[in-house]
Amino acid sequence: MRGPMTRAVVVALGALALWPAAAGAQTPAAPQTPPPDTGTVTPPAPPDPKKVVPVKTPDPLELLQQPGDEIKLSDEKLVTRWGHAQATAKIRLSPQASSRMVARLRFLTEDGLPEVYLVLAARRDSAGRNWLQVRVPKRPNGKTGWVLDEMLSSSLYIVQTQLVVDRRKLRATLYKKGKKIWSARVGIGKRGTPTPRGKFWIRERLRGLGGTYGPWAFGTSAYSNLSDWPGGGVVGIHGTNQPGLIPGRPSHGCIRVRNDKIRRLARLMPIGTPVRIIN
């Protein structure tokens, strides 16, 4: 016969034996129901027109998805894209077929070499066509316009160099990926025929002209009111047969460089390199 103490122990042990089962017997959470598939796809974020498209992007124009999308193709410092004309198409003031014509693309430079167009940006119009904003090599300096993308090279060329010419310091400096790789004192235009200030680019590389032009010469997109460049008007960067005039202001607008320096520059500066003439 069990006494009161024995019955209390048995009841307590039974309660302990039941506790884990009772604690684990919680109501399971209801399964998560996925949201219904509405068939809509979130469109990609539009490209940032202020940020230049990276060099490694295979086809930058694929970033243009919606009408009004715009991308920056060149910053003219670290990344610059350029192309050759595929037709003598009209260059428009704005990226639309009804816009006023400001010039025409051309195949050749004044010296008979393939013309070079610096490409600043691209934009998609309301009809789904892609337009390229280009710098235009003509007077007055500084012109820009828009052409349909198929009017330039299907694959744009890329350079990562920039030449800065300081008229006050009489010095030219070449940068690659933002780092200085070449520098030299220069001769520039006289007061009556100044070397123009602004943003330009290298359109031509000419070797072996000799004499006044030295071993190498580069044709730029800048135009002077008078120039000693063949064909007239184009501002060139070239060697010299009068190194004693450098540094100085001896020219009709061209930029003169001592011959040893121009040879070195020719190994470093490709076609399409932006040229910024300051001060």
Instruction: Give the catalytic positions in this structure.
Output: 238, 254
Amino acid at 228: D
Cis peptide before 247 (omega within 30 of 0): yes
Amino acid at 4: P
Whole-number Å distance between alpha carbons of 156 and 51: 18
Whole-number Å distance between alpha carbons of 62 and 55: 14
CB-CB contact of 181 with 268 (8 Å): yes
DSSP string, the chain: ---HHHHHHHHHHHHHHHHHHHHH-PPPPPPPPPPP-----PPPPPP-TTSBPPTT-S-GGGG--STT-EEE---SSS-EEEE-BSS-PEEESSSSTTSPEEEE--SB-TTSSBP-EEEEEEEE-TTS-EEEEEE--SSSTT-EEEEEGGGB-SS-EEE-EEEEEETTTTEEEEEETTEEEEEEEEEEE-SSSPPPPEEEEEEEEEE---GGG-SEEEEEEEE-SS--STTSSEEEEE--S-GGG-SEEEESS-EEE-HHHHHHHHHH--TT-EEEEE-
Q: What's the start-to-end Cα distance of the chain, in Å?
A: 116
